[in-house]
Chains A and B, each alone.
Chain A
Amino acid sequence: MSNEQTKSKGATHEAREAKWTLRLYVAGQTPKSLAAFENLKKIAEEHLQGEYTIEIIDLLENPQLAEGDQIVAIPTLVRKLPEPVKKIIGDLSNTERVLVGLDIIPSKRKQC
């Protein structure tokens, strides 16, 4: 893992062992990226009760990292843990779908 990543541990809770490892890929401080970060923080606070870590990776600084996690769209949120790896793309503005994507709540939609 690169040292250059900005690590931001979940709020005040000094987690025992982070249950959720999330990685947010952005490309510079674009409005979409900022919105995604804000939305992610809110959801994590609300639903993950401090058992998480969030890494933010700016691909403008580290373009070589895009290949590893197969990043195509920006912003992309990758759930590294728990397995399996999940990806959510977009500014995370739809909380319900983020929760479904992270398997926090079960999917109500039909699979298409």
Chain B
Amino acid sequence: MTNISYLEPLPKSPTGIKGLDEITYGGLPKGRPTLLVGGAGSGKTMLAMEFLVRGATQFDEPGVFVSFQETSKDLAANFASRGYNLNELIAEKKLYIDHVHIERSEIEETGEYDLEGLFIRLAHAVKVTGAKRVVLDTIEALFAGLTNTAILRAELRRLFAWLKDRDLTAIITGERGDTTLTRYGLEEYVADCVIVLDNRVVDQISTRRLRILKYRGSQHGTNEYPFLIENTGITVLPITSIGLNHDALTERISTGIERLDNMFEGKGYYRGSSVLISGTAGTGKSSIAAAFVDAACRRGERALYFAFEESPSQIIRNMRSIGMDLQEHVDNGCLTFHASRPTATGLETHLAQMFKIVMDVMPSVLVVDPISNLIAAGNISEVKSMLTRLVDFLKTNHTTTIFTSLTSGGDSLEQTEVGMSSLMDTWIVLRDVERGGERNREIHVLKSRGMSHSNQLREFVFTPQGIDLLDVYTGPAGMLTGTARVAQEAKEKAETLSRQQEIERKKRELERKRKALQAQVEALCAEMGTAEAELDVLLTEEKSRLSLLADEEVRMGKLRGADVSSRVDNISKKDYQEESK
């Protein structure tokens, strides 16, 4: 057996920045410099400063910020808006900001020099604070301020060695170059860990992204991750497709509309499933989504509503008109709205924001209204990739989600603009049917995985009490809606009435007939009785006549002395037997 001795893994210095520690598997390389590259306004200074502030406040590692651009005062003012009180940290000696100002026009170079002055300043700052972390932002300013690049390069090499010797975890920021990674080739010196920040603008919408280009001696996430700069600091969101291994729940959750539940085996959607409601403009997508939210809030579940089209107050007002008081849910904290214009940020930023809010709110039901609007912020393939990741994420969290999607006029109803139907477990299609000079709303379930759903097209109406699905009336021309349905209803009512009257009439006639027959039967019975009575009389008479005859015969026989009794006996015996029967 071979013995593999496991060395201590690379020690790391946690940044405390949400998400960044995850993709770097613990933070930046401890005691080594990290190069942070990005264009102007990509958030280098922000990230670097957050590294120091969090180091000082969360990890008890004081830091030195050497700024080659902004003065200490400017920095403090800028970061005050992020909620960082730099001056307080400086007063507590947890942070030291040294502004190094180099202006070429103020400097004449003659002969040999070195950058010992910078080293001394840095050493002084490190000594004063006991710093473990250093940021040099942006050291390339030296190249702009000094002309002798040979000296500069030698000194930079010495500087990075110096930082390493002192076991300082450093972030060196650098401007992105055209042909090289950084404008002045800083990557030559700092090669342990390189992080690239990017603020890309596509169709006038910018998205911030972060990527770890290399990380010697450590595994790291290799993708481009969107990140947010918010007033709580930086959040990097490692949003990648989580994969298809989420649990499928069997619990069912009401749609909020009783008769719509009936279309789903009377139970509604599966919990944790993704539901798509698509339809043309004005078919009631938002209302059906709102009904779901309303029902969830009534059950005491948390709901989150991403509105990309209407403002929360507008949604609340509109839903009040159909009997849903969402304001009440907002007030008691069940419902959270988050409204933003799709064009306000890039797709990735939207996604990142949505992830963050979902993680903050942890809703059990979620509405994205409408998802189709996000196309304005990106192209279809981007939207699809975003949705895949969003759906995966939500399914893993067991969040039941309703996405609404606007189908534009000319498109087929059964095709979503985003082409995302395959991601969805349940798809409800709403449509406007024009017939008989009016438009009526119809709803049907196009698909619903894992349950036997109704295949019936249903008409639904908005009433001040809510949404109601109506009974189905099918006529010769298909399903009847609107006034045609009302006419059909009236017709059916009339038909029912006349049918009932007919039955009544038939019933009466039958009764009469029955009574007549009964009378007849009674008459016959009476007749029968009379006949029977007559027969009895006859029989009795006959019997007495026979016995009389027999007696006479016996008497005559006696008189004649002949034996004839046996004949009379036989006759009388036979008569008695019949009588007794």
Contacts and interface: CB of A to CB of B under 8 A. Distances in A.
Is the pairing of A and B real? yes
A50 B112 CA distance: 27
A98 to B, nearest CB: 5
Interface string A69-112: 01111111000000011111111111001101100000000000
Contacts of A35: 111-112
Interface stretch (A1-9, A11-19, A57-65): A57-65
Given A27-B120, A66-B124, A85-B106, A74 B115 contact: yes
B108 A75 contact: no
Contacts of B118: 72-73
A67 B98 contact: yes
B568 to A, nearest CB: 166
Give the dominant DSSP class at B's interface: mixed
B116 interface: yes
B106 A72 contact: no
Contact of A90 (B102, B112, B120, B124): B112
Contact of B111 (A25, A67, A85, A93): A93
Contact of A32 (B107, B108, B114): B114
B314 to A, nearest CB: 56
B558 interface: no
B121 A71 contact: yes
A87 B121 contact: no
Contacts of B111: 32, 35-36, 39, 90-94
Contacts, number: 99
A94 B108 CA distance: 11
Interface string A41-60: 00000000000000000011
Interface in B525-546: none
Nearest to A92: B110
The residue in A76, A88, A91, A93 that gathers the most chain B C-beta atoms within 10 A of its C-beta is A88
Contact of B108 (A63, A67, A71, A98): A98
B100 A93 contact: no
B117 interface: yes
Given A72-B100, A72-B102, A73-B115, A91 B120 contact: no
A72 to B, nearest CB: 5
Contacts of B106: 84-87
Contact of B113 (A39, A70, A90): A90
A87 B124 contact: no
Give the contact-size bracket for chain A.
20 to 34
Contacts of A89: 107-110, 113, 146
Contact of A98 (B101, B110, B112, B113): B110
Contact of B114 (A59, A73, A93, A94): A73
B115 A97 contact: no
B60 to A, nearest CB: 25
Contacts of B101: 70
B290 interface: no
B123 interface: yes
B108 A87 contact: yes
B142 interface: yes
A44 B549 CA distance: 193
Interface in B107-156: 107-118, 120-121, 123-124, 142, 145-146
Contact of A88 (B107, B115, B117): B107
B108 A60 contact: no
A86 to B, nearest CB: 7
Interface string B78-120: 0000000000000000000010111000111111111111101
A59 B108 contact: no
Given A59-B116, A89-B110, 13 more contacts: A27-B117, A36-B111, A63-B120, A64-B124, A72-B146, A74-B113, A86-B106, A87-B106, A89-B108, A90-B113, A92-B111, A97-B109, A97-B110
30 contacts: A25-B117, A27-B120, A32-B111, A32-B112, A32-B114, A59-B116, A60-B120, A66-B117, A66-B120, A66-B121, A66-B124, A71-B120, A72-B121, A72-B146, A73-B114, A74-B114, A74-B116, A75-B113, A76-B113, A85-B106, A87-B108, A88-B107, A88-B108, A89-B109, A90-B109, A90-B111, A90-B113, A92-B110, A92-B111, A94-B110
Interface of A: 25, 27, 32, 35-36, 39, 59-60, 63-64, 66-67, 70-76, 84-94, 97-98, 100-101
Interface of B: 98, 100-102, 106-118, 120-121, 123-124, 142, 145-146
> What are the 3 closest A-B residue pairs judged by CB atoms, nearest first?
A101-B108, A93-B111, A90-B111
